Amino acid sequence: MKFAGLILKSARRSKRRTALTVLSVAIAVFLFAALRAVLDGFDAVAEASSATRLVTIRSTSMIFNMPTSHGETIKSIPGVTDITWANWFGGIYKDPKNFFGQFGVDAESYLRMYPEIIVTPEVKRAFLEDRTGALVGEGLVKKFGWKVGDRVVIQPGIPLYGTQDYTFTIRGVYKSGGSNVDNQTFLFHWKYLDERSLQKGEVGWFVTQLADPGRAPQIIAAIDQKFANSPYETKTDTEKAFSASFASMLGNLNLLLGSVALAVVITTLFVAGNTMAMSVRERTTEIAVMRTLGYPARTIFLLVVGEGLMVAVAGGAVGALLARLVINAEYLGMAGGFIPQFGVNNWNVVVGLGLSALIGVLAAMIPATMAGRLKIVDALRRVA
């Protein structure tokens, strides 16, 4: 502790340089925390997904539909207790920038199988009774200033669903009761969609409820087996695996974001290392004087490492604090969106601080070794 003041004063020697180093580490930790928040958000969606629900899509791609008759076949498989279905609408509300998920769903079974979509009995009844009604997440209502009873016109985004605009009436607002359900989705009746569709009786995906999650592998195999060698082969997975694969459609996120984070950290390491080396080089005489006063090489080494550590952890704290404040769904207006749980958790703050400490120690290692090995006489002669 008695050396803390000395380390602090050394770090404040060139305030601008120290501030820039602190800033560079802060940016690195901020980016690291932001990237971790994205990955954790996807993980949270997958983790919160039900283990008792299966999702069945066309084996070729999710963008191709399959006949509703598949539903009856799936329902007949032992172990399946319920089934629902939905279609991706992909419509445009006023401007393509106003992107949000729009699902045509079999309303009654969908709400039954997704208890995470929280609505009052009155809202549920009002939605079920109106063929052109819509049930929207509270995030969307907040975003567009909608209220119950409003008429919303959406232009179809997929040619299959015609060219004429669809007019919906908002019949209720739902709350999200789990991380796997966002609060920015627009649900409407599949029947309304099917009436206007160019190909009738087609479904985007089925969701199957299981009695026993332990039998999921057998039932998955049984479902896909039923449609093997048919014009509409299927691919079934648990909802969790489906969520994870949905995220992976964006590419290998772990690798991509991990590489970006690593590049940022390594660059910062070089920047901080160069700054520390410069700072130590400028203090050659002072280090030689301290050695003359009896400071052992090891103490000098630890003082330089301590300085690197102090500067880097200060940057880490700034970066982690900023990330904690800025990277959260509420602040960014993403609450309940595509990644419902988007934010920097305590663990990532701790990892960010640990990372900054590592940057500090590694960046100081070479300058500290140079300082520790300094030959006193040579150093004094160099400046005399």
Partner 1 sequence: MALIELRDVTKSYRRDQNEIAVLSGVTISIPEGDFLALMGPSGSGKSTLLNLLAGIDRPTRGTVRVADTDIGALAERALAAWRARHIGFIFQLYNLIPVLTAFENVELPLLLTNLSKKQRRDHVMTALGIVGLTDREKHYPRQLSGGQEQRVAIARAIVTDPMLLLADEPTGDLDAKSAGEILTLLQQLNGEYRKTIVMVTHDPHAAERASHVLHLEKGTLVEQASLAR
Looking at residues 204 to 233 of the shown chain, list those that interact with partner 1 (rule: CB under 8 A).
none
Looking at residues 13 to 52 of the shown chain, list those that interact with partner 1 (rule: CB under 8 A).
13
Q: Counting every residue, how long is the chain? A: 384
Closer residue to partner 1 in complex, CB, 261/288? 288
Closer residue to partner 1 in complex, CB, 7/34? 7
Q: Is 289 in the site for partner 1 (CB under 8 A)?
A: yes
**Residue of the chain from 132, 175, 286, 338 that contacts partner 1 (CB under 8 A):** 286
140 is written with which tokens? 């969307």
Half-sphere exposure of 112 (CA within 13 A, CB side): 13
Nearest in space to 36 (alpha carbons), one of 344, 245, 377, 329:
344
- Please report, for residues 28, 150, 159, 210, 224, the alpha-carbon distance to residue 169 in angstroms, rounded to integers and kept in the order given: 47, 6, 23, 33, 37
Closer residue to partner 1 in complex, CB, 249/384? 384
Closer residue to partner 1 in complex, CB, 235/283? 283
**Residue of the chain from 48, 119, 353, 376 that contacts partner 1 (CB under 8 A):** 376
- For the chain, strand residue ranges (E) read 53-58, 66-67, 80-88, 101-105, 117-118, 133-137, 151-154, 166-176, 185-189, 202-203, 205-210, 234-238
Looking at residues 125 to 164 of the shown chain, list those that interact with partner 1 (rule: CB under 8 A).
none
**Residue of the chain from 135, 290, 368, 371 that contacts partner 1 (CB under 8 A):** 290
Least Å distance, CB 369 to partner 1, is: 15
Closer residue to partner 1 in complex, CB, 86/311? 311
Q: Is 2 in the site for partner 1 (CB under 8 A)?
A: yes
**Residue of the chain from 70, 124, 235, 291 that contacts partner 1 (CB under 8 A):** 291
Yes or no: say if 56 and 85 are a contact pair by the CB < 8 Å rule.
no
Size of the site for partner 1 (CB under 8 A): 25
**Residue of the chain from 81, 218, 248, 292 that contacts partner 1 (CB under 8 A):** 292
Pairing of strands 202-203, 66-67: antiparallel
Beta-bridge mates of residue 134: 170, 188
Interface stretch with partner 1, choices 98-106, 207-215, 310-318, 373-381 (CB under 8 A)? 373-381
Q: Round to whole Å and give the CA distance between 87 and 194.
A: 10
Interface stretch with partner 1, choices 220-228, 241-249, 283-291, 328-336 (CB under 8 A)? 283-291
Least Å distance, CB 364 to partner 1, is: 18
Under DSSP, the state recorded for 92 is B
Half-sphere exposure of 300 (CA within 13 A, CB side): 27
Under DSSP, the state recorded for 162 is -
What residues line the site for partner 1 (CB under 8 A)?
2-3, 5-6, 9-10, 12-13, 285-286, 289-299, 376-377, 380, 384
